[in-house]
Amino acid sequence: MLEGDYTIVLEDCIPIVYAPMELFRGKRVVSMLDFVEWINGRVFPPERVGAKELLKELGLDEYRPFAIAKETKACLMEDPYGVAFTEGDNYREDTVRGAAGFPDMIVVEHLLELKAKDN
């Protein structure tokens, strides 16, 4: 996990309309806490029917929202956003929307630049 105080910055070349509205709320900079809270809202709830089976399918032994998000790329069927946690992450191969044949859309990693806050 990252150490220090970080912000998530929407790159200038990306129009705000292409950013996840519920994360950026019209801003170009959000805190890492806001990002983690957004990620946590993009995973199935622990009380979901079949949650244990889903965890097993993801290779996880317990419910940890951030770990689930890393496995699912925090991608939902309801919107086109996902997060590339590593350089090798691929929308088409690694997300439920990509696997379902939806066109490549917006992967948050490509929109954002992680910057340490100037203190």
Type of residue found at 10: L
Burial 43-69 (b: 16+ CB within 10 A, else e): bbeeeeeeeeebbeeeeeeebebebbb
pLDDT at 60: 97
Task: Please give the DSSP secondary-structure letter assigned to residue 72.
Answer: H
pLDDT at 104: 66
Residue 51 has pLDDT above 80, yes or no: yes
DSSP line for 81-95: EE---STT--HHHHS
**Average pLDDT score over the chain:** 81
* pTM for the whole structure: 0.74
